[in-house]
Amino acid sequence: MTDLPADLTAELLVEADVAICGAGPIGAATAYFLARMSPELRIVVLGDDPDDDPGHVSTYRYSGGSIRWTWADPVKREMTAETAEFVQGLIAEGVDLAAIENTYHLLHTGEHIPALNISATRLVSHLLERAADAGAQVIPGAVVEGVRPDGSGHLIETTRGTIRAERVLFALGAANARLFPQSEAELEKRQLFVLDLPVPPERERMPHTIVPVGEGFGYAFVKSVEGHLRVLVGQEDIVEDDDLSGPVDHWETLLESGLATALPWLRDAKVEQILWGVDIAEKKLVLDEPAPGLLLAGCGSSVRSSAWLGRTLAERLAA
């Protein structure tokens, strides 16, 4: 746990039953389910702003938003099937999640896997709005700096002041590991290429395209990032080094191992930046409780499991 100085000087901003630190897919979904499940609880959600978060490339803001629910593994199948049903319910209600159907496919095998692509950013905004409607207090621009025990509860230090809460969920994505280096969650390095490429209208709806690369996969999708339409190319499982501190250049490997054959126009792209992100390899819920009532939650591909994660964590926090 992060140690804070004993003489905290910041004023107590708010007192809550439950504080949710981090307003990504896990935090927003937990707030959504908890606020509806337990309206009597005082729930606070602490979020930061992208401008204050130079490391946000590893967050949901860059996610492909792919929701695939035909997994062989029964746990992953349950997590994704529940989320798919939830998301389809929102779409049926008229919530615009920028969904595209049937877009997850392996070009080389021709296997077509039923799936949805949604905007993770829109999903998170929607969940937070609904959580606020149900009584949760969302405090934007509150960067969490540390936490320490306080009697039966916890004091959370943020850039906007101190929050006291009985129970706390840390759902800061990759940042959980920076604040809690002793966490069990394993970080996985991903490589992400943000390409400046003219995107004609037919490519704007380009599906989340997956191609086998070496022993893993490469993927490409079009995304609006910070107001620009960009092509994002990423990789899974082909980073050979264990150094999590910076990028490695597998752009040529990706192109030559199948991606350029499948999507020849990628050869015209100028790689504007090479960024890296981290994810949690298992794609299942990793939950630590370093102190009673202090939960650390992480999950790889948590957009596609967000409803299951939110409900599961809300049940735990409501108890």
Ligand X SMILES: Cc1cc2nc3c(=O)[nH]c(=O)nc-3n(C[C@H](O)[C@H](O)[C@H](O)COP(=O)(O)OP(=O)(O)OC[C@H]3O[C@@H](n4cnc5c(N)ncnc54)[C@H](O)[C@@H]3O)c2cc1C
Residues at the contact surface with ligand X, assessed by CB under 6 A = 21-27, 46-48, 53, 56, 58-60, 62-66, 143-144, 171-175, 190, 192, 208, 232, 234, 277, 279, 298, 300-304
Q: How far is the CB of 203 from ligand X (least distance, A)?
A: 18
For the bound state, the minimum distance from the C-beta of residue 140 to ligand X, rounded and expressed in Å, comes to: 10
Task: Give the nearer residue to ligand X in terms of CB position, either 39 or 59.
Answer: 59
What is the helix (H) or strand (E) element at residue 275, kind and residue range? strand 270-280
| Smallest distance, ligand X to C-beta of residue 186, A | 13
Q: Which of 128, 146, 113 is nearest to 4 (CA)?
A: 146
Q: Which DSSP string do the residues of 216-269 spell out, in sequence order?
A: EEEEEEEEEETTEEEEEEEEES-------SS----HHHHIIIIIHHHSGGGGG-
**3-state secondary structure at position 140:** coil
Residue whose CB is less far from ligand X, 2 or 109 = 2
| Closest to ligand X by CB, 40 or 72 | 72
Alpha-helical runs (H) found in the chain: 25-37, 74-93, 120-133, 175-179, 201-204, 251-254, 260-262, 306-318
Residue whose CB is less far from ligand X, 48 or 166: 48
Question: SS3 of 60, please?
Answer: helix
C-beta of 39 vs 216, nearer to ligand X: 216
Phi and psi dihedrals of 258, rounded to 5? 140, -30
CB of 87 to ligand X, least distance (A): 11
* Rounded Cα–Cα distance for residues 281 and 195 (Å): 25
Minimal distance, residue 103 CB to ligand X, in Å: 10
